[in-house]
Structure 1
């Protein structure tokens, strides 16, 4: 949360230059407060597991967050009952006239396909376009990050010779970015994907900035400089045992799969995996909710359609 101090205090100017959020007493006295509305477009096969992962992270702030779940209508889920979807999920046609403070678009196990070959691609494009006028800030996770960069900015994805699989060190490139407030210079994040984006393609797009990357796993977090879109190629939401479950699932299928990097102690799958990304995962989502959404979103969400898309949030 922000600190409230006098603008005459010397520290006010110093902290402001570091992009630390401070407010004066006048703004504090006139703040309008309401619950945040966050929409989660869940594309993962094990939807209930994914629901728990994101809800844990979204619950870790003092803010009241009302979370709704969305599924695509152009794809039949094989791993989640239709009763569960009918009870707890909505389709785009049901919410397209509504407005949200934040949206999360999850990963999906379709990186091996060309975007246009994904059976729900057109629906995803419609939803991603809709977020620009009906959502204040959108997180795109893993496949959704690749898809969002491709749809919004024509950034191509590249197939990997083998799965990017494990927990990799990430380097902070923009330490004063609000999304990364309080991060160490190096932190860890899980990855589980068959495709990637390249730095040189992103650097060709003036609206984009790379916030974190790894020498091993490549580009990690990319931001639209207007603060309204974030593209995260990893899975910070993963539980301790998620990669373990994926590894043994693939082994049982007879697939060629390497032991996930930096995950099991001594690379021994019989040992309990390290949970080395929990702090950074909680901080990432707390920062997003507080700095990138709560402190910036309009009180009247219908004003989103009138917002200047080139507005600068000050990454």
Structure 2
């Protein structure tokens, strides 16, 4: 899927080097097709890294995708320049009159806070309410997944005794569901979080289906009965070295942090980790775009 992004976006040149099909606006305008419009609410502090990770995944299927980046207006990002935000991001106030085929809400390193204590909680609540009528399907990642489960379904989160960090094996509950079509019965995925959500609450809610879980890491993949909301409690989008960088960052801060489980060869942080989840990551994003966005979204949105 060629992705249509601003040519000046820093991720664009890196994507081209990786042979990801990036299309400029001039070429996109000559194609007589209806592109998918995807909006990404990027709550991660290192926004440029997350942009690259997600664009890499959106650019790997057969259709054209227009990508819009959304930033919170009620929270000032400290790890990215104002110039970058002004050039490549928009705010909810500027796009709330529009409709989108799909949306991604990322994680955020704010798990230690109650949802209502987050300084942009009111804003993100408005955005999540807006998605009910203005977005065909929403993919929520890590804290974004916990926020969606809480806001839409009343499922709270709780603190873990220690950080869940590492690569864990997960088992699929129903391989016939389109989101996991083509998955192996078991697959690996990264987790990086200090909190979790109740498996019992999710299993007892008829509006939710638990699609994948880990014996060690718990819930991983949840989907709503209307296919509107998909919640991923881990970080399939992570690169091979992301957990290592987080581990070293926390160590340099003096935090007591365990070595990520099943990640470094021989559990030795001096050894280079490998990516054992890449194929399932691409498959999940491809399945989401095909079955839950492209196959379900109207060719022309009707505005009232």
Question: TM-score if structure 2 supplies the norm length?
Answer: 0.88
**Residue in 1 aligned with 2:173?**
173
**Residue in 2 aligned with 1:119?**
119
**Residue in 2 aligned with 1:9?**
none
Deviation at 1:301, TM superposition (A): 2.2
What whole-Å deviation, never above 9, does each CA across 1:253-282 have from its counterpart, x for those lacking one? 110111101110110011110210000001
Structure 1: how far apart are the matches of 2:227 and 2:58? 19
What whole-Å deviation, never above 9, does each CA across 1:218-239 have from its counterpart, x for those lacking one? 0101100111110110000001
Given the alignment of the two structures, is residue 89 of structure 1 paired with residue 89 of structure 2, yes or no? yes
Deviation at 1:198, TM superposition (A): 1.5
RMSD: 1.3
**Residue in 2 aligned with 1:281?**
281
Structure 2: how far apart are the matches of 1:177 and 1:33? 28
Deviation at 1:204, TM superposition (A): 2.5
How many residue pairs match? The answer is 274
Deviation at 1:302, TM superposition (A): 2.9
Unaligned stretches of 5+ in structure 1? 2-31, 306-315
Which secondary structure state, in structure 2, belongs to the residue aligned with residue 52 of structure 1?
helix
Given the alignment of the two structures, is residue 78 of structure 1 paired with residue 86 of structure 2, yes or no? no
Structure 2: how far apart are the matches of 1:299 and 1:83? 35
Which secondary structure state, in structure 2, belongs to the residue aligned with residue 48 of structure 1?
helix
Paired residues of 1:33 and 1:299 also in contact (CA < 8 A)? no
Structure 1: how far apart are the matches of 2:301 and 2:222? 25
**Residue in 1 aligned with 2:38?**
38
Given the alignment of the two structures, is residue 237 of structure 1 paired with residue 221 of structure 2, yes or no? no
Q: Which has the higher contact order (CA 8 A, sep 6+)?
A: 1
Deviation at 1:33, TM superposition (A): 4.9
Structure 1: how far apart are the matches of 2:250 and 2:301? 44
Structure 1: how far apart are the matches of 2:119 and 2:302? 31
Bigger Rg, structure 1 or 2: 1
What whole-Å deviation, never above 9, does each CA across 1:165-217 have from its counterpart, x for those lacking one? 01110110110111101000000110001111111111232111001000010
Deviation at 1:134, TM superposition (A): 0.2
**Residue in 1 aligned with 2:57?**
57
Written as runs of structure 1 = structure 2, the 5 A alignment for 1:1-315 is 33-302=33-302
What whole-Å deviation, never above 9, does each CA across 1:135-194 have from its counterpart, x for those lacking one? 000001000100000000100111111111011101101101111010000001100011
Paired residues of 1:38 and 1:102 also in contact (CA < 8 A)? yes
Structure 1: how far apart are the matches of 2:94 and 2:238? 29
Moved over 6 A (4+): none
What whole-Å deviation, never above 9, does each CA across 1:40-85 have from its counterpart, x for those lacking one? 0000000000000000000010111111000000000000011100
Which secondary structure state, in structure 1, belongs to the residue aligned with residue 38 of structure 2?
strand
Structure 2: how far apart are the matches of 1:225 and 1:48? 33
Paired residues of 1:99 and 1:302 also in contact (CA < 8 A)? no
Structure 1: how far apart are the matches of 2:292 and 2:169? 24
Structure 2: how far apart are the matches of 1:242 and 1:79? 16
**Residue in 2 aligned with 1:309?**
none
Question: TM-score if structure 1 supplies the norm length?
Answer: 0.85
Deviation at 1:132, TM superposition (A): 0.6
Paired residues of 1:208 and 1:225 also in contact (CA < 8 A)? yes
Deviation at 1:117, TM superposition (A): 0.4
